[in-house]
Amino acid sequence: MQILQLQETLTTLGIKPRNPASSSGQEWGVLSDEHSAFTSYSPINGQALAEVQYATRAEYDALIEKAEAAFKVWRNVPAPKRGEIVRQIGERLRQYKEPLGRLVSIEMGKLYQEGLGEVQEMIDICDFAVGLSRQLYGMTTHSERPEHRMFEQYHPLGIVGIISAFNFPVAVWSWNAMIAAVCGDVCIWKPSEKTPLCAIACQRIIAEVLAENQLPEGIFCLLQGEAAAGTWMTEDERVPLISATGSTRMGKQVAQTVGARLGKTILELGGNNAIIITPEANLEMAIRATIFGAVGTCGQRCTTTRRLIVHEQVYEQVKNRLLQIYPTLSIGSPLAEGVLVGPLIDAAAVEQFQQALNKVQAEGGRLLCGGEALNHSPYEQGYYVSPALVEAKNEYEMVQTETFAPILYLISYQGAIEEAIAIQNSVRQGLSSAVFSNHLLETERFLSANGSDCGIANVNIGTSGAEIGGAFGGEKETGGGRESGSDAWKAYMRRQTNTINYGASLPLAQGIKFDI
């Protein structure tokens, strides 16, 4: 299997056979044979793409110093002017959309159309951030004291540390970085070791805009390395906010470390997302959304549909329809037309997929179809599996556990919508959820305070496919905090209450008398 246009893509995006570990914008770290390095491989066919050096602690400290210096300049640039820089970044991303989207597909393994869609998310968040740069509103309130005025305003925090995962190697970084930038913050990005080249490409695109505007080094920084590089940031009091995307296990470590120094966190962690299908549902719509949510990105989205909770009246109908469709799903290179399921990220992911299926069957689950590791031609060089359908019970340990792979658990319920909601909520994670029903009372109950306990709750659409205009995030072991749209920008700023006395006396609040 050949990756078409590989060298052309890498050259266009400025990626070399061996790449430095760090960048403060236009400046890059020094290449040295003394540095240890790691290789990025494509999950499509196992091909080595390029090497990237591991950052040293000295390189990290140098980045921090440049970021601190840049912040002192950047925070004083008017917010609409900061928005203008982000607008230019969005325009440059439009120019590079095709090669960058292709690289996302090559290095991460998601479908080419999904790779393009991820870059479009970056463009969209730039557009959102440009408008936001003129809407960083505070609030005025009335004082109880005469001739006093009270108001609230927001100021930049400083350095924002961004730790991103492999499954969205560019979009999630942009959600944080573009919003933080218009807020007046500077960023240090530690990407996943599994997708380092996508980060290098983004950094080189941004560097063009920074150079053209004669901006200082340190506004957007890049740091490559193992988990230790992320630990340097989480332990560093010079980094007031850490935004981390990844597993719940990783997020708990980040929360403990940052919390111990009273820093701030935005955590986007595990998801165990469910779709509820009631007897009042449009079944074809529900099945289409289920399949996209369950097998898209080969089950490696945080919003992947992992549980399908179906009323017994339509359970057999839904199951039989899925059993018709699943064997027909085209599996292969995500760059090929017509393919719907690409590879998992690496061999370890394939092993986890198979272990999860073995465990759930040992608990009593019934494998209905799929579940194979496809190690025969033309798949032997890549990490391909056949998406699995499993009949299971919600209380099974493996059903309660997020497996980053295309496994869909079919669960039946008998009673009213409240029973299905209780099943959906009976997991430790709380990211995305959906119900398919054309019955108003069912959908309203799903959206009520007694309904879904997830950060995202959809009606008649699936669990995947969030738009940047809404705040993105979840509850419980999904972490907490919000990224992207709505008022998520407030997390990247510090809030300040101000009181101005424009009179000639000094009255105290609550009528306190303190006469000298």
44-96 tens-digit pLDDT: 999 999 999 999 999 999 999 999 999 999 999 999 999 999 999 999 999 99
Catalytic (active-site) positions:
268, 302
What is the three-class DSSP state of 275?
strand
> What residue type is 100 in one-letter code?
L
If asked whether residues 296 and 387 sit together in one domain, one would say yes
Answer for the pair 465, 435: CB distance below 8 angstroms, yes or no. Answer: no
**Residue entry with tokens 């740069």:** 133
If asked whether residues 362 and 388 sit together in one domain, one would say yes
pLDDT band at 17 (very low <50, low <70, confident <90, very high): very high
Burial class (CB in 10 A: 0-12, 13-18, 19+), 69: middle
Strand ranges, E, within 422-480: 429-430, 432-436, 456-459, 471-472, 475-476, 479-480
**pLDDT at residue 259 tops 70:** yes
User: In the structure encoding, which two tokens stand for residue 399, read together?
Assistant: 């059903």
Domain extent at residue 431:
273-467
Q: Which of 466, 492, 480, 487 is nearest to 176 (CA)?
A: 492
pLDDT band at 33 (very low <50, low <70, confident <90, very high): confident
Return the pLDDT at 377: 77
User: In the structure encoding, which two tokens stand for residue 2, read together?
Assistant: 């050949």
Mean per-residue pLDDT for 4-21? 93
**Separation CA 345–CA 107 (nearest Å):** 9
Per-residue pLDDT tens for 222-257? 999 999 999 999 999 999 999 999 999 999 999 999
The answer to whether residue 504 sits within a structural domain is no
Answer for the pair 281, 314: CB distance below 8 angstroms, yes or no. Answer: yes
The answer to whether residue 347 sits within a structural domain is yes
> 252: which residues sit within 8 A by CB, 6+ positions away?
none
What is the three-class DSSP state of 323?
helix
**pLDDT at residue 300 tops 50:** yes
Q: Which of 515, 512, 495, 500 is nearest to 143 (CA)?
A: 500
Burial class (CB in 10 A: 0-12, 13-18, 19+), 464: buried
Q: Which of 180, 183, 258, 193 is nearest to 220 (CA)?
A: 180
- β-strand partners of 472: 483
**Separation CA 469–CA 203 (nearest Å):** 24
If asked whether residues 370 and 487 sit together in one domain, one would say no
Per-residue pLDDT tens for 434-477? 999 999 999 999 999 999 999 999 999 999 988 999 999 999 99
Return the pLDDT at 328: 97
Q: Which of 432, 477, 480 is nearest to 454 (CA)?
A: 432
Mean per-residue pLDDT for 177-206? 98
Q: Which of 255, 292, 252 is nearest to 275 (CA)?
A: 292
If asked whether residues 259 and 277 sit together in one domain, one would say no
If asked whether residues 440 and 401 sit together in one domain, one would say yes
The answer to whether residue 501 sits within a structural domain is no
Strand ranges, E, within 6-56: 18-19, 22-23, 37-41, 48-53
First CA to last CA across the chain, in angstroms? 87
If asked whether residues 307 and 202 sit together in one domain, one would say no
User: In the structure encoding, which two tokens stand for residue 257, read together?
Assistant: 């470390």
Return the pLDDT at 380: 83
**Separation CA 300–CA 403 (nearest Å):** 9
Q: What is the CATH number of the domain that holds 325?
A: 3.40.309.10
Q: What is the mean pLDDT of the chain?
A: 96
DSSP annotation string for 98-151:
HHHHHHHHHHH---HHHHHHHHHHHHHHHHHHHHHTT----EEEE-SSTTEEEE
If asked whether residues 261 and 304 sit together in one domain, one would say no
If asked whether residues 206 and 287 sit together in one domain, one would say no
Report pTM: 0.96
**pLDDT at residue 149 tops 80:** yes
Distances (CA, A) of 24 to 88, 220, 323, 385, 479: 19, 6, 51, 39, 29
Mean per-residue pLDDT for 263-290? 98
User: In the structure encoding, which two tokens stand for residue 209, read together?
Assistant: 């805009």
DSSP assigned state of 54: P
If asked whether residues 372 and 411 sit together in one domain, one would say yes
If asked whether residues 463 and 326 sit together in one domain, one would say yes
pLDDT band at 216 (very low <50, low <70, confident <90, very high): very high
If asked whether residues 153 and 243 sit together in one domain, one would say yes
Mean per-residue pLDDT for 176-202? 98
**pLDDT at residue 1 tops 50:** no
Return the pLDDT at 2: 54
Distances (CA, A) of 292 to 237, 303, 315, 462: 42, 11, 19, 8
Question: Strands of 48-53's sheet, edge to edge?
Answer: 18-19, 48-53, 37-41
Q: What is the CATH number of the domain that holds 185?
A: 3.40.605.10
Number of structural domains in the chain: 2
The answer to whether residue 442 sits within a structural domain is yes
**pLDDT at residue 140 tops 50:** yes
pLDDT band at 5 (very low <50, low <70, confident <90, very high): confident
Return the pLDDT at 379: 82
Mean per-residue pLDDT for 131-147? 97
The answer to whether residue 506 sits within a structural domain is no
Do strands 483-484 and 471-472 pair parallel, antiparallel, or not at all (unpaired)? antiparallel
4-37 in b/e burial notation, b at 16+ Cβ within 10 A? Answer: eebeebbebbebeeebbbbbbbbebbeeeeebeb
If asked whether residues 259 and 119 sit together in one domain, one would say yes
Mean per-residue pLDDT for 169-184? 98
The answer to whether residue 516 sits within a structural domain is no
